[in-house]
Each structure stands twice: as structure tokens, then as C-alpha cells.
């Protein structure tokens, strides 16, 4: 008799009554324009869910016994009903973990958040210094994140999270990022950079090199308390498995509800191919989660394809579906960042890489600079 | 480090002859294989891999001792296995000594 999670991965493939990791993006509006934004956010979508619709959705989450919801955007704090939304989540027993760029996190708001033990805050920060961070997140964004963190500390929030998307430029700063988190009494959370949203355009320039991936893997093994949201399981092919479920959870344990009520298999696949339905059309999120055609098919056993002959398939499972899809690789083959270089070879062998274009782009019409 | 210290605390060992209960900070959601438990305090997700274990965990509070609950819910034959299962739920703070 054991209650260890690993043996259960097969169960996920059959689908759970409700997602474990549900992300809800409240708005596509954002005052920043990060070059790697997974949701290509910028401008508010006029079809955004109203306050009433948001509240009804929370009631449904509570009825489905969703333990917590990851709130993001865009910048969620831009919505004028932001606190009404999180208060209603908490009152309904749905825990809140929300990600913010920190620009709206004043001391007053930090105090309001601190008063609520069921709310978890993640401040996005993509470098250990202003230059590295601002190259990706925009001028002044470092200062805004730091100010927000200072406010959380002053408000006595307790342990919050610093959320970092790992790129070519901040992997060398990983120890500094770790110290920064320690300095703030915060937990460090590292996520994989994926070629989703505007990340498709900046991927080439920003994704880690093979050598950096190995460094990161070794570092993660040495720092098991650092959170990764199961993001780097493709690195498990290098040896010992990293902490986590180590599988692509899209449509199985993971899903996204976007600001207009569209339900996608994962926050990193905002594309028609992975759109399971809209909560307005279907009348309920539960119906989509439990019986949409897309999610049912994602729960089927997947074929290993070109990865079948790889001895590390059990650990790596061919990597991330989003990373493959948006680099134009077949879904049943190696990840573009396959640690054995199979993805790179595959990409190199394609004479013309046809990448799927995004349908949902809410970027502001200003040119974005990518530092290479 | 902190977590290691907590696990070393004698308070956190399972004592079948004491009264136990499902933590008030834990939400249990039934699933086809058993249930998922989420602890709102330590934010850990735990898998309860059988229906019997789920029933047992829910039933703990109705018995004077955990041992009694095990006998009543799953029977004497599987006593040891369920002591072990409950023991692992103590560490993740899913159940607590009342
Ligand atoms: S598509 Fe990638 S990011 Fe999404 S759940 Fe699968 S592995 Fe994770
Ligand atoms: S070949 Fe496929 S399974 Fe093997 S390490 Fe590369 S991506 Fe993973």
C-alpha cells in the first residue's frame, strides 16, 4: 500500500474529475510588453468575461472542488474587479495563486493580500539585475518588481514567490537569483521558456543552450526546494528524475481558461488546435473539462514516434507539446530542446520550417526589441 | 532544512491507538482511483490511491482510536497496510491527532 504519486501518472492519462493545475487569465490587457509573453498580451479584449461571468465561473470551480486557481493575464491587477474576484475565490474555498508584474502592487494592496492566508503571490522577475530583466520585460520593470517585493515585505505578507522564466541570459545568474529570493524570504520558482505567444519570435535568441540546460539540471538537483512547476521534465533524460509528475499534463491535469472564456489544453498552447471550447458556448467549464473532444483525445495514450528508440523516453516522454508545436516539430517526436540534440537535428533537417501562426494576438502595435 | 526538522518531531509519528481525524485544512476530492487531497496550509497535493483509504480517512473522526477505525472500515486482515498508509498521511499533515 503506498500513496506515492509516481505510480499514478497513468491515471492522469484517463483524466481527473477536475484539473489540478488550472490557470485562469483574467485579462489580455497589460502595461508591459515582455518579449516572451506566452499569451501575447497587451490590449484588453472587448469580449473579456464580465464580473458576473467571472463570479459564476468561480462558483463552478468551487462546485468542481478545484483546490486552487492560478490567476494570470495579461496583468490581472489591471482589472478593476480584481479583489472582488480573488475574495470570491477564497470565500468559495478556491485557493488563489496569482502572478503579477508588480507594477500595481502598492503597499495598500500588499496589505490587503497579506490579510488573506489563502492567497499566494508570484512576482515575475527575469533577471538578477535591471539590465538583464529589462531587456526582456521592458524599461523600468525591474524597479517595479523590486518595489512590489518591498511592499509585500513591509506588509508582512510572508513567503511569496519570485517567478523566473529561464533564458540564455539569466541562467548564468541563477545563484544570484537564489540569493535575491533568500534576501526577501521568498521562494524561487523557475519556469521553462517556451516558444509560445511572443515567445515564438524571441525563442531563437533567448532559449538556453545545451550547455546551459545541463548546468540548470545539475543546479536543480542540488536545490530541490526551488519550485519548477514540473517545467523541466525534459531534462530528466539526463539522469535522475526531477521532482514532479514528469509528464505533459495538457488536458490531463493542466488547462487554461483565457480572458474571453476560451478553454485551452495548457497556458502555453493558445492556438485553435488546442482550443477545447468556450465556457459561454458550452454553458459550463465542467462539460469542456470532462467531455470535450480535444481533452478526451489528449488523454489517450500517446505514441512515442521518433522518440521510441530513446532509452530516456520514460523520463522525458518526448518533452513539451507546446515547445514542439510552436517550433514546427511533430508532436510525437523529440522536444526542440531534447538534451541529446535530436530536436535540433530535426529542426535543422527541415528545409523550410513552417511554424503555426498564432490566432490570438493581443500585442500592442509597437515594435519589440529582442536582445540576442 | 525546516521541513526535515518538522519530520523529525515525535509529534508527527502515527500512533494507531490515539484518536485521529482528517485535517480541517485539507480538501478531499473524490477521483476514480480514490481521491486527491490538498492541504491549504502546506500547499501539498497528496494522492489517496484507494477508495478504502479514502473512506477510512473520512471515518477516523468517528472512532476513539485509529486502530478501531481501521478494523471497522477495512478489516483486521489489512491492518498493517493501512497503518502504513495512514502513517504516510501524517507526514504530509493530511491527518492529525485529535
Ligand atoms: S504542453 Fe508543455 S507546458 Fe503545456 S502541459 Fe504539456 S509540457 Fe507542460
Ligand atoms: S529523444 Fe525524445 S525521449 Fe529521448 S531525450 Fe530526446 S526528446 Fe526525450
Q: What does the pLDDT look like over A242-267, one tens digit per residue? A: 877 778 999 999 999 999 999 999 99
pLDDT at B10: 45
Q: Helix or strand or coil: residue B64?
A: coil
Mean pLDDT of A300-319: 90
Measured between CA atoms, how close is B70 to chain A, in angstroms?
14
Confidence of residue A8 (pLDDT cuts 50, 70, 90): low
Closest CA to A119 of A101, A94, A144, A102: A94
Grid cell digits, residue A213: 540546460
Q: Which of A55-69, A110-124, A165-179, A343-357 has the lowest mean pLDDT?
A: A343-357
Q: What does the pLDDT look like over B12-61, one tens digit per residue? A: 689 999 999 999 999 999 998 899 999 988 888 999 989 999 999 999 99
pLDDT at B44: 87
CB A223 within 8 A of CB A187: no
To which H or E segment does residue B27 belong? strand B26-31
Measured between CA atoms, how close is B37 to chain A, in angstroms?
9
ipTM of this model? 0.79
Q: Count CA atoms within 13 Å of residue A82 on its CB side.
A: 23
pLDDT at B5: 40
CB A344 within 8 A of CB A359: no
Q: Do A17 and B31 touch (CB under 8 A)?
A: yes
Q: Is the pLDDT of residue B3 over 60?
A: no
Mean pLDDT of A46-65: 97
Q: Whose CA is nearest to atom 8 of ligand 1?
A: A248
Q: What does the pLDDT look like over A197-217, one tens digit per residue? A: 999 989 999 999 999 999 999
pLDDT at A360: 78
Grid cell digits, residue A275: 482550443
Q: How far apart are CA B67 and CA B73, in angstroms?
A: 10
Q: Is the pLDDT of residue A371 over 90?
A: no
Going from the Cα of A121 to the center of ligand 2, the distance in angstroms, rounded, reads 34
pLDDT at A256: 98
Q: Determine the residue among A3, A19, A69 to mutate to test chain B binding: the one whose Cβ has the most chain B Cβ atoms within 10 Å.
A: A3
pTM of the model: 0.90
Closest CA to B92 of B18, B19, B22, B34: B22
Q: How many A×B Cβ pairs under 8 Å?
A: 58
Winning range, highest mean pLDDT, from A83-87, B75-79, B80-84: A83-87
pLDDT at B11: 55
A20 reaches B (C-beta below 8 A): yes
Q: What does the pLDDT look like over A290-309, one tens digit per residue? A: 999 999 999 988 888 999 99
Q: Which of A110-114, A147-151, A245-249, B94-98 has the lowest mean pLDDT?
A: A245-249
Rounded to 5°, the CA angle B89-B93-B97 comes to: 90
Q: Is the pLDDT of residue A96 over 80?
A: yes
| Candidates A1, A8, A65; nearest CB to B81 | A1
Amino acid at each position: 500500500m503506498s500513496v506515492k504519486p509516481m505510480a499514478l501518472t497513468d491515471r492522469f492519462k484517463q483524466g481527473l474529475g477536475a484539473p489540478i493545475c488550472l490557470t485562469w487569465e483574467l485579462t489580455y490587457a497589460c502595461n508591459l510588453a515582455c518579449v516572451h509573453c506566452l499569451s501575447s498580451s497587451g490590449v484588453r479584449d472587448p469580449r473579456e468575461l464580465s464580473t458576473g461571468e467571472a463570479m459564476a465561473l468561480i462558483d463552478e470551480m468551487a462546485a468542481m472542488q478545484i483546490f486552487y486557481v492560478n490567476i494570470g493575464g495579461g496583468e490581472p491587477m489591471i482589472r478593476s474587479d480584481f479583489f472582488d474576484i480573488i475574495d470570491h475565490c477564497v470565500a468559495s474555498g478556491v485557493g488563489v495563486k496569482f502572478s503579477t508584474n508588480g507594477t500595481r502592487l502598492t503597499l495598500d494592496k500588499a496589505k490587503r493580500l497579506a490579510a488573506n492566508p489563502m492567497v499566494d503571490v508570484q512576482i515575475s522577475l527575469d533577471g538578477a539585475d535591471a539590465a538583464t530583466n529589462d531587456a526582456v520585460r521592458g524599461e523600468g520593470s525591474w524597479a517595479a518588481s523590486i518595489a512590489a517585493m518591498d511592499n509585500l515585505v513591509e506588509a508582512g505578507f510572508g513567503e511569496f514567490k519570485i517567478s523566473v522564466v529561464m533564458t540564455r541570459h539569466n541562467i548564468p545568474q541563477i545563484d544570484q537569483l537564489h540569493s535575491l529570493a533568500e534576501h526577501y524570504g521568498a521562494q524561487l520558482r523557475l519556469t521553462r521558456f517556451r516558444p509560445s505567444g511572443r515567445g515564438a519570435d524571441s525563442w531563437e535568441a533567448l532559449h538556453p543552450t545545451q550547455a546551459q540546460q545541463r548546468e540548470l539540471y545539475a543546479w536543480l538537483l542540488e536545490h530541490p526546494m526551488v519550485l519548477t512547476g514540473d517545467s523541466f521534465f525534459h531534462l530528466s533524460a539526463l539522469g535522475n528524475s526531477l521532482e514532479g509528475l514528469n509528464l505533459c499534463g495538457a488536458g490531463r491535469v493542466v488547462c487554461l481558461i483565457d480572458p474571453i472564456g476560451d478553454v485551452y489544453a495548457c497556458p502555453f498552447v493558445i492556438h485553435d488546435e488546442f482550443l477545447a471550447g468556450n465556457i459561454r458556448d458550452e454553458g459550463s467549464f465542467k462539460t469542456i473539462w470532462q467531455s470535450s473532444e480535444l481533452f478526451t483525445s489528449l488523454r489517450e495514450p500517446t505514441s512515442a514516434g521518433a522518440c521510441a528508440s530513446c532509452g530516456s523516453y520514460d523520463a522525458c516522454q518526448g518533452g513539451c507539446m507546446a515547445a514542439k508545436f510552436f517550433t514546427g516539430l511533430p508532436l510525437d517526436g523529440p522536444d526542440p530542446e531534447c538534451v541529446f540534440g535530436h530536436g535540433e537535428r530535426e529542426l535543422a533537417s527541415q528545409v523550410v520550417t513552417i511554424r503555426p501562426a498564432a490566432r490570438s494576438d493581443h500585442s500592442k502595435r509597437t515594435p519589440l526589441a529582442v536582445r540576442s | 532544512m525546516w521541513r526535515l526538522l518538522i519530520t523529525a518531531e515525535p509529534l508527527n509519528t502515527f500512533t494507531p491507538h490515539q484518536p485521529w481525524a482528517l485535517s480541517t485544512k485539507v480538501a478531499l476530492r473524490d477521483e476514480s482511483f480514490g481521491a486527491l487531497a490538498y492541504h491549504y496550509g502546506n500547499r501539498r497535493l497528496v494522492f489517496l490511491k484507494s477508495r478504502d483509504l479514502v473512506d477510512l480517512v473520512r471515518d477516523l473522526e468517528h472512532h476513539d482510536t485509529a486502530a478501531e477505525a481501521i478494523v471497522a472500515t477495512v478489516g483486521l486482515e489489512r491492518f498493517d497496510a493501512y497503518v502504513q498508509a495512514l502513517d504516510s498521511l501524517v507526514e504530509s499533515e493530511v491527518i492529525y491527532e485529535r
